[in-house]
Amino acid sequence: MTIQLQDICKSVAGKAVLKDINWEIGSEDCWLLAGPSGSGKTMLLRLILGLEKPDSGSVNLLGDYKYASVNAGVVFQEDRLCEQFSALENVAMVNERLSEMVAGEELSKFLPQERLTVPVCELDPVERRLVVMIRACIIPSDILLLDEPFRGMDSGLRDKVIAYIRDKAGHKGIVFVQQDDSGLEFCRKFVL
């Protein structure tokens, strides 16, 4: 699968956010979508996901692709967790073939065992972010789209999370959205 963005333009409240964007993301590509705050990085992800429509231009899914829209594991800027559910429940719910035992094995790579069963509303911001990241990686998908996934993490944890993401992605494409390339120097860069 290849995602092709052609001549994308998008305005919000009369202000141009994206203008004449052309970009192609292959199935095994690893990209860093970079740019300063307000440059349109999140909007571009929303266009790729079909959550927004461009004012002009197109987002095309090329190759032998069986879905009408992008089938992605996503980390949004907001955590988007079910607050009263545990970390185990939040991860297991996105994959009907995934048991809480398997979800627990994945979560235990980053969180202490006693934190897996408390409601996520009781987890600290970094723990919550780890739950979101693991959930995105275990969803059956064709690409991972990760918007500021390392928020609040120190460089050691960030590097461990990057290794986990790359391992779980296998042959999926990955798009990291960050303002800078810290820890992501191995990625191809698309700068807004």
Question: If one looks up domain 29-42+70-191 in CATH, what number appears?
Answer: 3.40.50.300
Tell me the pLDDT of the chain averaged across its residues: 93
Residue with tokens 């991860």: 91
3-state SS assignment for residue 44: helix
pLDDT score recorded for residue 5: 96
pLDDT in tens, 141-182: 999 999 999 999 999 999 999 999 999 998 899 999 998 889
Residue extents of the structural domains in the chain: 29-42+70-191
Residue 147's closest CA among 86, 85, 77?
Answer: 77
Token pair belonging to 88: 């185990």
State how far the Cα of 192 lies from the Cα of 190, in Å rounded to an integer.
Answer: 7
In angstroms, what CA-CA distances link 177 with 16, 35, 36, 188? 20, 9, 11, 12
Q: Quick one: how far is CA 162 from the chain centroid?
A: 12
pLDDT in tens, 53-85: 999 999 999 877 777 788 899 999 999 999 999
pTM of the model: 0.92
pLDDT in tens, 93-152: 887 777 788 899 999 999 999 999 999 999 999 999 999 999 999 988 999 999 999 999
